[in-house]
Amino acid sequence: MYGSPDGVPDGVACNYGRPALGAGGAVVFCSLPADISAVFRPARVLRPGGVGIFRLPPSAFRLPPSAFRLPMSARVLQINVSPGGVPKRAVASAFVGRGGLEGDAVNHPKIHGGPERAVCLFSLDLVQALQAEGHPVFPGSTGENLTVAGLDWSALAPDAVLAVGGAVRLQLTTRVEPCRTIADSFADGGFKRIQPKRVPDETRWYARVLAEGTVRPGDEIRVES
């Protein structure tokens, strides 16, 4: 969920990467790993250390997009689940099993989900680029389970293995074909903007789970092969 004019209660997980007005006109970011908090110089930290809620001065809202490109290795920036449909909402952690993330479900299992499409990934950098084009997309709105920052999306290919955190290992299977379900994330409903045959380096990925475990925001991602 997002911050609101009434403020954000401590402990609430919010969609990362899209500032929202909080109490007193502050900009609120949630699920922000502590090791990158210095980039934003938050005026107030509601839950210091680990995953927390950070309040920024209104001037942060006027920073160029480049200011939000984090000087860090590739990491999980947000974990998203839903009982079906989009947007998927941020959670503080999730167990990743062979069938996908605990607490997550899909509405159309014939075309989504299953062992070969257990986890959907998308790039924060691409989300920000789409926002700059005027699309109302945000992390989780296109149904990805893991919103990732700092990973060279153009270098990814089928069968690449990603180590996530200390236990989880994912193997990329296919690029994700978009459908009308995510039309609200695009100006004029133009969901084909991220169609693989048009922009193979700017689309989402499906992955199978090679090794199960729990993922959290801030987990490092390493490309093993």
- Per-domain boundaries in the chain: 1-65, 75-223
Amino acid identity, position 211: A
Structure confidence at residue 110 (pLDDT): 84
DSSP code at position 53 = E
Backbone φ and ψ of 162, nearest 5°: -115, 125
Structure confidence at residue 79 (pLDDT): 96
| β-strand partners of 13 | none
Structure confidence at residue 72 (pLDDT): 53
DSSP H/E element including 119: strand 119-123
Structure confidence at residue 73 (pLDDT): 82
Maximum pairwise Cα distance, the chain: 48
Pick from 200, 222, 16, 214: which is nearest to 103 by CA? 214
Question: Is residue 87 reached through a cis peptide bond, with omega within 30 degrees of 0 on the bond before it?
Answer: yes
Query: Is domain 75-223 given the CATH code 3.40.50.170 in the classification?
Result: no
Pick from 180, 166, 172: which is nearest to 151 by CA? 172
CA distances from 127 to 42, 122, 153 (A): 23, 8, 12
Contact 15, 89 (CB under 8 A): yes
pTM: 0.72
Structure confidence at residue 15 (pLDDT): 40
Structure confidence at residue 76 (pLDDT): 96
Per-position pLDDT tens, the chain of length 225: 222 223 333 333 344 444 443 444 333 444 444 443 433 444 444 443 333 444 444 444 444 444 444 445 899 999 999 999 999 999 999 999 999 999 999 998 888 899 999 999 999 999 999 999 999 999 999 999 999 999 999 999 999 999 999 999 999 999 999 999 999 999 999 999 999 999 999 999 999 999 999 999 999 999 997
